[in-house]
Structure 1
Amino acid sequence: MQCRRGFTLIELMVVLAIVALGTALVSLALPDGDRNVLARDGARLAALLESARAQSRVAGVPVQWRPTASGFAFDGLPATAPPLPSGWLDARTRAVGNAPVTLGPDPIIPAQAIVLQLTGSATPPLRVATDGLRPFEVEDVPP
């Protein structure tokens, strides 16, 4: 009787199928890097807008956020207030078609939203929005 050594073709195909399935599942589980970048910039902007809104209420003066070519700027902050950052964390982030956003000094402001998008990416845009009463929060742009 002859002793066979090695694997059959079926055994090799089963192992390759298992490896391919595992690879496909891992690639689906990985987060979208561009989506995370945009979400991080959105969360940071929401925090900065809330900080400027609080400074506006304390000082009793209106503060305005506006997009710029290199990021954004806050106008009207009191000279005694600590300066707020004025750039995006990622250079590809842009505020799309946004008018200036007025932040106070009243506790209730008009509903406002800022749309953020990554240039050169297929990632869908995000909105940083408030209904005027609640804090700014990051949300998906409705289709």
Structure 2
Amino acid sequence: MDIRKIDDTISVAPQITYEDVAEAARLGFRTLVANRPDKEEFGQPAMADIEAAALENGLTWIYMPVQSGNVTDEDVDRFGEMIRDSEKPVLAFCRSGTRCTVLWALNAARTTPAREVFSKARNAGYDISGLAPRMEQQSRNR
């Protein structure tokens, strides 16, 4: 499992497996968020199986699918509410972790300077520089 810490409240990961959930719980994560639609790609683990593992391991499970390459403002709003209301730390996953990072970054841009958002994403291994115009737009939603 390739966990990439963004900050103390959230980490992201590429697709996890049923077996990875116990490790996430052992590492101290309290909430598991799936940003990948079920059956997005042939052969990916079933979300129902990962949900079952989350519940078996005492994690809060949140299924919040977002279409790759089509993150809406409503998705960003929902993600921000989830971060605010969930028990932390949160582990969010999708196919590569990028979608989760984009959701986090667009929400964070509402309260955090862009350079700090870019730095945290870069430190986690994600180049989100292409989001600059959209982050500027989100910063006006403060």
Q: Answer yes or no: same fold by TM over 0.5.
A: no
Give the TM-score normalised by structure 2.
0.26
Q: Say which structure, 1 or 2, has more relative contact order (CA 8 Å, 6+ apart).
A: 2
Give the TM-score normalised by structure 1.
0.26
Q: Which has the higher helix share?
A: 2
